[in-house]
Structures are given as structure tokens and as C-alpha cells.
Amino acid sequence: MKIAVLGAGFSGLAVAWTLLQHKLKTNSIEVTLFDSEGIASGASGVAAGLFHPFAGIHAKLNRFGYEGYNATLELLKAAEHTLGSRPFDTSGILRTAISPLQADEFKICSQNYPHDVQWLSTDEVKTFIPGIAATPGILIKNGITVYSENYLKGLFLNCVKSGLVFNQQKIDSLDSLKEFDQIIVAMGADCTSLKELSHLKLSYTKGQILELLWPADLPPLPIALNSHIYCVMLPDKKRCLVGSTYEKQYASREPDWEIAKQEILPKLGLLYPSLKDAEVLNCRTGIRVSGPQHLPLLQKISERCYVLTGMGSKGLLYHGLYARKLCDLILGLNL
């Protein structure tokens, strides 16, 4: 069976990797990955990479949260094995509350899942991160910061070792892929650029993040911060990523430094005042895609075509799990 996968972001590479695990057992399939821009070129490569099963303002366990978490862990370990180093950090994630109501919901989360979530009082938060805003929060002990671009490149190299063929080619129509038995479209915001998928009901949000120079006189954060914005140290401990914007209306997909700074920096100053004058080095942008009811969209388009998109802000949590679901549909497996 010859299978084409369109899109080299989280979903596309997760699908390719999962298919190739079956190939290693049976040698009955060929997988070709297409992406005109290269690996990790879309929103997946821009993602700051906060990964845990309690995403969302209420910190409730996400639907399929643990299943998604475990599926992604397998992919992270595959990338680590190929790279010889970890493209992620397992120190955890600190979420601070932005209102008394959210603080109450955070405390409930810590009571329901004490193995993974620890309640921190205001004093405990300030002791943990000196200089942070005075508010209680939760330590998500199983939270992981994924360095998305490195992770995707590691997963891609793992796929290549297992026989993946990569074609850096733009596909405008499924008609150009008649040689393939099955086609999986995982092109994120570009899915509807294919005429066969132009009918899909998807919503789009522009997300921008800022890369800041970490002040030389300030100790690096020991853990990723997540509140009304997030702040994540990069591996060199000399820079951080701060974001994100959620722009429903936007004139261009290109970075807009002024809008990003206007929306992000005031919130950063409230969360962590020590960074309010940090130098802005770069602005990155990507387009998040959400499906109906804000759930991932896994849909059969025809007898030989499926689409997987609409991960929204939960691509890291869900891409491995939904790749398994999709491969089960195509190959009749029980992954």
C-alpha cells in the first residue's frame, strides 16, 4: 500500500511515524511525506510547546487527556532516541491563577489529581519564582516543555531511518496523487487550499509569540510559566519565548511586531515585572486551526482520503493519539 501524507507538522509527522511502525513489522506499506515549505515550517514549528493534560482556563482533565499524553510521550522518546538528546524539558509547568474563581478551580484540580498537580499558595509561588506576581497557582508535575522545531526534526529523522520518503513539493489537488492508495491531509491552516477540502468548516486564529533576550542579571526560570500568557526558557537559557496572541481578525499571516508587543508585553509586565524592559529579538507567528466544537477533526473525505486537522492549541496533546486513531482506520489495527 502506498500512502501519501500531506503536511510536516505535528499531525503529519505523527501519522507518518505511526504508519512506519507498521511497515517495520510487515514491510507492506510505503509512506511519502509532502510539504512545500519543509519540516516544522507551519504553526507546529512555532508552538512554544507547553504540554500537559490539564490545558484550558478551568484546568480540568482534557478529554482523552491521559491517552493523548501517553501517545505523545512515545513520539517524544522516538525523537530523543534519534537525536541523542532530549528535545523537551520535564521540569514541570507552573500555572498561576488570574482570578479567585480560577484559583478555586486550580485547587480542585490539585485535589482530584494529586499525583500530577500540586497546589501552591501565594507565598509558595513567590518562593519558587522570586519576583513573580503575587497569586496562588498549581505546579503541573507531569508538564513538559517541548522544543517544537527540534522535536519535529528529530521525529522526521526517525521516520527517515524507518523508510520515509520526503518530497518538498506543493500539492494543489489530490488529482496529482493518483498513484497513492491512501492520502492523509494534515496541512493545518492550508487544508482548505485543496479544492477537494474547500468545504470544511474550520476556524482560524493567528498566534504570535515574542522571543526576548533574557536579562544577564536575572537567574533563568527553573520552570515554564503559564498564566494569562506563558513564558518559556529556550535551551540556551539566554532567551525566552512569551505569548501568545489570539487574533480572530488579521490582515496577514506574517508577523506584526507592533500588535504582538501591544498584546503581550503589558501582560508579561504584570506576570513577571523583571522582564518588562527585556529586549525583543524576534516575532514568530502561526495560524491555529480549530474544528467544530473545538475538537480535532478526523474525517473521511473519500474512499482513499482522510483529513486530520483542527487541533487548535492542543496539537501536542492530541497529535499522537489521533494519528493512532487514523492509522487504525486505514490499516485496521488496534494501536
> From CA 160, how far away is CA 167, in angstroms rounded?
12
Mean pLDDT, range 46-54, rounded to an integer: 90
Question: Which three cell numbers mark 183?
Answer: 492520502
pLDDT band at 332 (very low <50, low <70, confident <90, very high): confident
Position 117 in a domain: no
- Ranges of beta strands (E only) in 29-173 are 30-34, 50-51, 88-89, 93-96, 117-120, 137-140, 144-146, 165-167
Q: Residue 244: which CATH number?
A: 3.30.9.10
Position 322 in a domain: yes
Same-domain check for residues 181 and 264: no
Position 132 in a domain: no
Same-domain check for residues 278 and 156: no
> From CA 218, how far away is CA 275, in angstroms rounded?
9
pLDDT of 231 above 90 = yes
pLDDT digits 0-9 by tens, 158-189 = 999 999 999 999 998 999 999 999 999 999 99
pLDDT of 329 above 60 = yes
Position 153 in a domain: yes
Do 155 and 75 contact (CB within 8 A), yes or no?
yes
Q: Which of 91, 60, 30 is nearest to 232 (CA)?
A: 91
Residue 170 CB partners (closer than 8 Å, separation 6+): 36
Higher pLDDT, 48 or 308: 308
Same-domain check for residues 70 and 154: yes
Q: How, if at all, do strands 280-290 and 239-243 pair?
A: unpaired
Same-domain check for residues 170 and 257: no
Q: Residue 67: which CATH number?
A: 3.40.50.720
Q: Report pLDDT for 335.
A: 45
Position 138 in a domain: no
Same-domain check for residues 253 and 235: yes
Mean pLDDT, range 181-210, rounded to an integer: 94
pLDDT digits 0-9 by tens, 106-130 = 999 999 999 999 999 999 999 999 9
Higher pLDDT, 27 or 276: 276
Q: Report pLDDT for 138.
A: 98
pLDDT band at 19 (very low <50, low <70, confident <90, very high): very high
> From CA 111, how far away is CA 157, in angstroms rounded?
41
Same-domain check for residues 249 and 238: yes
Position 300 in a domain: yes
Same-domain check for residues 56 and 155: yes
Same-domain check for residues 228 and 260: yes
Query: What total number of domains does the chain contain?
Result: 2
Same-domain check for residues 69 and 185: yes
Cell 514541570 belongs to 92
Q: How far, in Å, are 17, 136, 323 from residue 27 at the CA level? A: 14, 53, 19
Percent of the chain with pLDDT over 90: 87
Same-domain check for residues 195 and 311: yes
Q: Report pLDDT for 46.
A: 80
For 50, the 3-state DSSP assignment is strand
Do 22 and 331 contact (CB within 8 A), yes or no?
yes
Same-domain check for residues 194 and 251: no
- For residue 175, the enclosing domain spans 2-75+147-202+292-331
Of 288, 304, 319, the one marking the end of a domain is 288
Position 157 in a domain: yes
Do 169 and 36 contact (CB within 8 A), yes or no?
yes
From 15-24, 192-201, 263-272, 325-334, the region with the lowest mean pLDDT: 325-334
Position 119 in a domain: no
Q: Mean pLDDT over all residues of the chain?
A: 94
Neighbour count for residue 218 (Cβ, 10 Å): 13
Q: Whole-prediction pTM value? A: 0.93
Mean pLDDT, range 16-23, rounded to an integer: 92
Same-domain check for residues 210 and 327: no
pLDDT band at 333 (very low <50, low <70, confident <90, very high): low
